[in-house]
Amino acid sequence: MKFEKALRTEGIQYYWLGELLGGFRIEDYTEYVKTDAFVNGINQIIKIAGNALTGLLCSELNWSRCHHQYIADYLVRMGYKVTHIINEHQKSKHTLRVVDKTRESILPDFLR
């Protein structure tokens, strides 16, 4: 993988957690976040990150249109700071999303 090799050249470690946290799921991601596999993926992020600055990547340009919204909510609820990098000049601090009351019953407790 060219991307992984380029990161390694810069002294940056790369870990692929797509099997645990990737957004392409047969089931709805709101259901997936209730699984042990999702929690395992979050725990792996925390273990890998330790006390270091860590980045999560997705092919979706807008984080609010992909599974990263769930990952970010989970991490913020655990007390971690999450910043979305929009481009090289723009970033935004993650704030917990307002849950649509019509969908609230399908969401796990940590997202309510």
- Tokens 């050249």 identify what position? 9
So what's the pLDDT on residue 99?
Answer: 61
- Convert the pLDDT of each residue in 23-78 to its tens digit: 888 778 888 998 999 999 999 999 998 877 888 888 888 888 888 899 999 999 89
CA dihedral 21, 22, 27, 32 (to 10 degrees): 10
- Crossing angle for the helix pair 36-49 and 68-77, to the nearest 10 degrees: 70
So what's the pLDDT on residue 26?
Answer: 72
Of 52, 51, 57, 43, give the one whose Cα is nearest residue 15.
Answer: 57
Per-residue pLDDT for 106 more than 80? Answer: no
So what's the pLDDT on residue 112?
Answer: 58
| First-last CA distance in the chain | 38
Q: What percentage of the chain has pLDDT greater than the value 90? A: 28
Domain ranges of the chain: 2-111
So what's the pLDDT on residue 41?
Answer: 94
What average pLDDT does the chain have? Answer: 83
The first and second tokens of residue 37, run together, are: 């596999």
Helix, strand, or coil (residue 57): coil
Per-residue pLDDT for 87 more than 60? Answer: yes
